[in-house]
Amino acid sequence: EHLCRKEDLDAAILKALAQQKSPVILCDPFLPECPVIGVNAAAQAMTGWGHVGRQEVASADVRLLAGAKPSERGGYHLTYGRYAEGEEEELQRLAVRAACANGRPCSVKFRKMFELPGDRPLSLWLQGVTVAYGVNKGPLGGGAHIWYLVGILSDAPVDAWEKEAPSSVAMASLKQALQEVLEAHDALPKPGDSQEAGEKDWHPYGGDVRLLSKLVWHCQP
Instruction: Give 134-150 pLDDT, tens digit per residue.
Output: 987 666 777 889 999 99
Residue 122: phi, psi to the nearest 5?
Answer: -130, 150
CATH of the domain at 13: 3.30.450.20
Q: Residue 12's domain spans which residues?
A: 3-217
The more confident residue out of 62 and 27 is 27
- Contact partners, residue 144, CB within 8 Å, separation at least 6: 133, 134
- Closest to 106 (Cα-Cα) out of 120, 123, 122, 89: 123
pLDDT grade, residue 74 (50/70/90)?
Answer: low
Look at the chain and report how many structural domains it folds into. 1
pLDDT tens digits for range 168-213:
999 999 999 999 999 998 888 888 664 544 444 445 567 889 999 9
E-strand stretches of the chain:
3-5, 24-27, 36-39, 106-109, 123-134, 145-154, 208-217
Q: What is the three-class DSSP state of 26? A: strand
Q: Does the pTM exceed 0.75?
A: yes
pLDDT grade, residue 7 (50/70/90)?
Answer: confident
Average pLDDT estimate for 158-166? 97
